[in-house]
Chains A and B, each alone.
Chain A
Amino acid sequence: MAYLRVVDAAPIQPRGDRDGAETQAAPIAVHPALLDELWQECGAGSWGLERAEFDRIVLLAAQGQKPPPAPAGTALKEQQGTFLRSLKLADLVLAKACAAGNDRAWEHFMAQYGQPLTRAAIAISGSETVGRDLADAFYAELFGLNIRDGERKCPLDSYRGRGSLLGWLRTTLAQRFVDHYRRTYREQALDGEVHDAPSSEVGTDPEPGMLASLREAVKAALHNQPAEERFLLAAYYVDERTLAEIGKVLHVHEATISRRLRRATDAVRKQLMRNLEKGGMSRKAAEEALGTDPRDLDLKMDLRKLLQSKEPGPFKEQEASKPATAIPATAEDSFANAMLSDTHGPIEDKAKTTG
């Protein structure tokens, strides 16, 4: 509090940061009263964080405000308070303190997130052994054992407090697991199935003209769908996620997901018909094309490319490194059937249908 009284006359300026880049852009001032309130609300003092360190972290966080905060002395306290309170400030302070090598912060971090992190790793990997290995590797990474360019790098330093720290840890763990899997799955022996392998029958399609028209029509139809509908279609038909899984990610009921999937499928099919007719195909021929068994047309690879190539740039690498188990061979069949079939049954949860 004595520190605050000293700096009460002038807004607090962030001191020099290790990175330097964040603080050099524009000097940010935070109202001292707001800092007091946030300090009380954060409770970081309970695990031994110093007030000066807290002020430094908060000032660095304030630099991430959009739109950028006003120059020193002109930013309203309410605006800053609204922005800073929208962050998970307690988690942010803990993460930044850990990244800075604060021992008390690490103790608090391990006490609070040690077990949940291990459980999350086990859940993500599906194996306790793999999960513990994953968790241990991630702990080492968090401790900053990785040194890049002579500097100790801690992933916690990239945490900005937009979501919960535990959620961020889980997501980061999942990223590590997926990336590791994608790097190593090609090294594993194939279990008798060929995934994503070029079909030997590609190019033997007796009607390449119709297939090309169908491909373009599907691409255009998917392109016209909203992003969330495309995500639903991809998660359900390509990833073969269950309605419940999709519903939990989107925080809606699985019945809602089913209805939206049905609507999206119908909309894509109608758009597909229009696109085929626009492409010079008669309605009868378009219906025949939609009624064609996608297995006969070997639409699998094309559908995958269509779904993954809306933005061709970002995903070229991914196509080459897709996990084989993530997209079974039958996923494209189910999606193609949904798109091309005349009969649209109710969208069912795979978990229920598969028992």
Chain B
Amino acid sequence: MNPTIQPGMHPDAESLTAFAEQLLPAAEREEILAHMSTCSRCREVVFLAQQATEEDQPVPVSAAADAPIKPRTSWLNWKWTWIPAAACAGLIGFAVVHHYQGVATETQTAAKVAPTDSLQAVGTPKTEIQKPVSQNESKQTKPAKSPAVVTEREIVPQTSRRDEAKEQEERKPTDQKDMVLGGAAPQLAQAPGAAGGSIHGKMAARAKSAPIGGPSATNQFQQQNAANQQNMLQQSQNAQADSANKAVNAPSVPRAESETVTVQAGTVIPTQPAATPAAPQVNVIPTTEQNEEVSLADAAGISKKQKASLPNGLEALSVASDAGRTIALDTKGALFLSEDGGKHWKPVRTPWTGRAVLVRSLNTAEKGNALGALGAMKVSPTPKFELVTDDLQSWVSADGNTWTLQPVPGK
């Protein structure tokens, strides 16, 4: 019972205690508060009682304060560190997986492009790759970093590892088989710029990476690729059927370990026969791993340092050499001719309207097709060069000075 506080009266100790202990109903609490807002005596009583309550309960606090604080052991201190550690590990794992997925995507892209390029590459010049002779060799000549080269770097060790395993089992003869069958697929799957081995393949690769000719050039190549699909399939079948012959021929070619070879992906363009009449007895299927030739730069005897010493100061984009004559394209499409192995250059007037992007020696290609298996890299006395512009025009020249437009296959 709490009678209403009358004027001149203070709330009794019961009400003040209930107020301090929060046991009063709201209305009664308001009444007490209203009284205490004007009554210093009751405020004093309440605050003193509260002070006594606090000082009467210091035991738990002091006990807790006096209790020895156990130093946390190191593993307890580190018990939550698994969270950032797991996060870091997850990030690293994600980065690694993402990296390899990106590489795999590039490989798949190259694999998609390479067959079509190889179809276009019938009888056309080759490109440089590292000879897949062994893993050590591929490691010795590390190419510059580029998507295509990265693809090559990722593929070659796999092939080499597979080859090494087979080498340990069956040393000599099966090694040649691996060279033919096992090494063919990766090389075919390589990026066109690196392993396509054809002018059109390079063109397609450049159109893809740096679209000189624009999307229309790529579409044009795709149409040509589609037209040659049947030939490609037939060539692949023939390559498997004639692998025995290649196994016999391939090991007979002695090569230096550091030899850089150029793989000719295929020679199935109808306009240019795959095998020349000069070597009819050699039933060679022009697969990538078999049609190797000396790179154009090496064949011309021009080092990279020499490439950069064109008269206009630009670097040589493409170089071809035959019969003592060397032609070179700079990065702006200007053509230069040298008759002394690259020591002196003279500019050549260009009849084409577009920009020349690649030159090669047709004699080298034909001889490579026929004699590559035998390792005969002799140069024909009559030079014959081919040049391709960014608008897919093909020009041929016998001396490097006079150029004639060649009709595009299929048109």
Contacts and interface: CB of A to CB of B under 8 A. Distances in A.
Given A162-B14, A174-B45, A239-B40, A227 B52 contact: no
Given A158-B14, A227-B34, A248-B54, A167 B20 contact: yes
B36 interface: yes
B56 interface: yes
A56 B40 CA distance: 38
Contact of A64 (B1, B49, B54): B1
A323 B36 CA distance: 16
B47 A249 contact: yes
A173 interface: yes
Contact of A245 (B9, B20, B50): B50
Interface size class of B (residues with CB under 8 A): 35 or more
Contacts of A228: 30, 33, 37
A248 B48 CA distance: 12
Interface string A146-186: 00000000000011101110011011111101110010000
Given A162-B15, A163-B14, A171-B17, A239 B47 contact: yes
Interface string B249-287: 000000000000000000000000000000000000000
B38 A307 contact: yes
A308 B20 contact: no
B55 A230 contact: no
A175 to B, nearest CB: 5
Nearest to A177: B48
Nearest to B21: A163
B8 A308 contact: no
B323 interface: no
Interface stretch (A12-20, A268-276, A283-291, A312-320): A312-320
Given A227-B33, A318-B39, A123 B51 contact: yes
Given A168-B17, A239-B40, A123 B52 contact: yes
A310 interface: yes
Contacts of A327: 40
A235 B38 CA distance: 10
Interface in B90-129: none
Contacts of B8: 313-314, 317
B47 A311 contact: no
A145 interface: no
Q: Residue among A158, A174, A175, A177 with the most chain B CB within 10 A?
A: A174
A245 to B, nearest CB: 6
Q: Residue among B7, B22, B30, B48 with the most chain A CB within 10 A?
A: B48
Nearest to A162: B18
Chain A contact residues, majority secondary structure: helix
B56 A308 contact: no
Nearest to A244: B54
B13 interface: yes
A153 to B, nearest CB: 15
Contacts of B6: 314
A158 B43 contact: no
A124 interface: yes
A169 B45 CA distance: 12
Contact of A171 (B2, B20, B55, B56): B20
B388 interface: no
B39 A241 contact: no
B44 A239 contact: yes
B41 interface: yes
Interface string B356-389: 0000000000000000000000000000000000
Contacts of B7: 311, 313-314
A245 B20 CA distance: 12
Contacts of B212: none
B140 interface: no
B12 interface: yes
A327 B43 CA distance: 12
Contact of B50 (A121, A163, A178, A248): A248
Contacts of B54: 123, 248
Contacts of B12: 158
Contacts of A173: 49, 52
A322 interface: yes
B348 interface: no
B23 to A, nearest CB: 6
A89 interface: no
A228 B34 CA distance: 7
Contact of A120 (B37, B41, B52): B52
A245 B47 CA distance: 7
Given A162-B24, A167-B17, A174-B46, 10 more contacts: A120-B53, A123-B56, A174-B45, A175-B45, A228-B37, A230-B37, A234-B36, A249-B50, A308-B39, A326-B44
Interface of A: 64, 66, 116, 119-121, 123-124, 158-160, 162-164, 167-168, 170-175, 177-179, 182, 227-228, 230-231, 233-235, 238-239, 241, 245, 248-249, 251, 307-311, 313-315, 317-318, 322-323, 326-327
6 contacts: A162-B15, A163-B17, A171-B45, A179-B41, A238-B40, A313-B7
Interface of B: 1-2, 5-10, 12-18, 20-24, 30-31, 33-41, 43-56
